[in-house]
Structure 1
Amino acid sequence: MLNFILKRLGLAVLVAFTVSFISFSLMFLSGDPAAALAGETASDQDVEAIRVLYGFDRPMLVQYWDWLSSALVGDLGESYYFKLPVSSLIAERLQVTMLLGLCGISFALLTAVPLGVAAAIRPNSIIDRIALFLSVAGQAMPSFWFGLILIVVFSIQLGWLPPSGTATWRHFIMPTIVLGYYAMPAIMRLTRAGMLEVLSSEYIRTARAKGASEFTVLFKHALRNAIIPVVSLAAVQMGFMLGGSIVVESIFALHGAGYLAWESIARNDLPTVQALILVFSLFYIVFTFLSDVLNAWLDPRMRAG
């Protein structure tokens, strides 16, 4: 198990360095950052002054090395627009996004996995049809439309929940439902398909023939194997929720890291954009690494492979 973890950790570190270089290079591939900062009405002298001021006149590899060396010690530069250290700015905004992402993936798992298991136990039943309906609706319904409908119903008409803000836990109920509901269909379908495949296996029939209880068969033998691909999918979905929550944060006025990314792109705040791309990518890498370790613990065949 230790060798497996070390191999996956080494691969994760290699991917992280690759992603850091790509995220840094994207800012220069999209055009001249000095011209973008100077604005459309700036003269050539102004553009050149900004290029020298921010060090854009140096070779890109030299700029990348300086940026990476500072990033490794927690210094991500200073925001051009907010005039604050990028690390403190992201740390403050990331708390909202992390809380929203954890609530969203928890809601998705606690809803989709039981529904997927129930649908697999009783295929073609009313429960299976309800799960199928929720899965199709979740894929077809845009998250911004769903969020606005919830605001109209539960905030404006019924007055049960606040429409925006982060003051109390009640402010996160509707954003959690919107964000989690988007991840539910894939998790539900994968759980159902995995359970159907596992329940038809020989070892499940053997366990039942030996007199094992239905609870033991379903949750100790079947679900343990069927949940393995769900763990990997949940890790990817969690990374997506953190990086792609900009729509939900905008609808419910949650000033998290996703909304900060939109603000930084709109205002050509290059240090903040670069840092956010790196942070969101690292979340994907970390969650994928943790899912690999958890899957290896659940399935010893992965460790042997």
Structure 2
Amino acid sequence: MWKFIVKRLIMLIPVLIGVTLLVFLILQLAPGDPAKVILGEQATPEQIQELRDSLGLNDPVLVQYANYIIKLVQGDMGDSYKTRGPVSEEVFNRFPNTIKLTACAMLLAVVVAVPLGVVAAVKQNTLFDSISMVIALIGVSMPIFWLGLLLILLFSLKLGLFPSSGSEGIKSIVLPAVALGFNHMASIARTTRSSMLETIRQDYIRTVRAKGVAYGVVIRKHALKNALIPTITVIGLQIGYMLGGSVLTETVFAWPGVGRLMVDSINGRDIPMVMGCIILVCATFSVVNLVVDILYGMVDPRIKSQYKSGGKSK
């Protein structure tokens, strides 16, 4: 198991290098001059040129990228073009808010979606199954930002139950978590339903039922555990999508997280800050995938035995 974990962590290095290179090149090709954005429209050409020299923006792109990677390996994400402060300090100050929002949204999605998918599979082709799948279809199809605006209009402006923006108090996280989690709840519910339907049709389930075991016990102790493997996969992927979707959610609800910081930095052409945000999100996504792979072994002993043998089939 430990060899597998170390191997996955080593594989994270080329992934991060590829992501940083791609994002760095895209930001370089984006229109706008960071020096002009920082100094404003009233800046003289001499002031702009002086600032570009001090920031290293006149160097070739590959030289700029090499200098950035050298600093990054040393633990330095650089300084923000806008605030002139360390990028790592600002990013890590915002990151707990993003994690809090993502955790609440995922908790809401899992608590609602898994039981919904299980019951829908057990009650296949009933009214409950049809209604739950219609809700799931709406959740998959509805954009996060549009749902967020609807929630603000109804629960904040009309009913006054929750604040429309900010992060003060528990109430502030309710609407962003619902907006972010609803779409992913629908995907998890559909996957759970499909996996449960496939599992309860297996021969060993028929055998257990033929022995007189109660149907509820069969579902809880035999079918659900085997049906959870695809669900765990989807949950792991959805966490990564939530980290990306938090950009829209945090912007709509003015939530002070990494997503909103990234949008503001892109608008201000603050390349080091954008790079810092993306590196942190990418690393978190990779770690989540590693945790999901470990959970496979806890759920399915066959996968655990593959980890112990180094992935070699016997």
Change (3 A) 1:159 1:49: closer
Change (3 A) 1:221 1:260: same
For structure 1, the residue ranges without an aligned partner over 5 or more in a row are: none
8 Å CA contact retained: 1:228, 1:298 = yes
Deviation at 1:61, TM superposition (A): 4.4
8 Å CA contact retained: 1:27, 1:33 = no
CA distance in 2 between partners of 1:164 and 1:240 (Å): 22
Deviations 1:148-201 (A, max 9, x none): 222222223322222222110111111111110011121111100000001101
CA distance in 2 between partners of 1:18 and 1:221 (Å): 42
Deviation at 1:83, TM superposition (A): 2.6
CA distance in 1 between partners of 2:171 and 2:155 (Å): 12
8 Å CA contact retained: 2:152, 2:164 = yes
Aligned twin of 2:147:
146
Aligned twin of 1:206:
207
Aligned twin of 2:258:
257
CA distance in 2 between partners of 1:169 and 1:34 (Å): 37
CA distance in 2 between partners of 1:59 and 1:159 (Å): 54
Aligned twin of 2:274:
273
Aligned twin of 2:218:
217
Aligned twin of 1:25:
25
8 Å CA contact retained: 2:164, 2:172 = yes
8 Å CA contact retained: 1:115, 1:131 = yes
Q: Does 1:83 align with 2:57?
A: no
Change (3 A) 1:219 1:20: farther
Q: Which moved more, 1:36-45 or 1:224-233?
A: 36-45
Amino acid at match of 2:5: I
TM-score when normalising by structure 2: 0.87
Q: Which moved more, 1:204-213 or 1:26-35?
A: 26-35
Aligned twin of 2:246:
245
Aligned twin of 2:15:
15
CA distance in 1 between partners of 2:83 and 2:277 (Å): 15
8 Å CA contact retained: 1:96, 1:256 = yes
Identical counterparts, % of pairs: 37
CA distance in 2 between partners of 1:50 and 1:168 (Å): 41
Deviation at 1:48, TM superposition (A): 4.5
Aligned twin of 2:125:
124
CA distance in 1 between partners of 2:298 and 2:8 (Å): 13
Change (3 A) 1:150 1:51: closer
Amino acid at match of 2:4: F
Deviation at 1:19, TM superposition (A): 2.2
8 Å CA contact retained: 1:34, 1:47 = no
For structure 2, the residue ranges without an aligned partner over 5 or more in a row are: none
TM-score when normalising by structure 1: 0.89
Deviations 1:254-287 (A, max 9, x none): 1211111111011111110111121111122111
Aligned twin of 1:4:
4
Aligned twin of 1:177:
178
Deviations 1:220-241 (A, max 9, x none): 3212221112212112211221
Q: Which moved more, 1:205-214 or 1:187-196?
A: 205-214
Change (3 A) 1:33 1:27: farther
Change (3 A) 1:75 1:39: same
**How many residue pairs get matched?**
305
Aligned twin of 1:287:
288
Change (3 A) 1:300 1:63: farther
Change (3 A) 1:143 1:60: closer
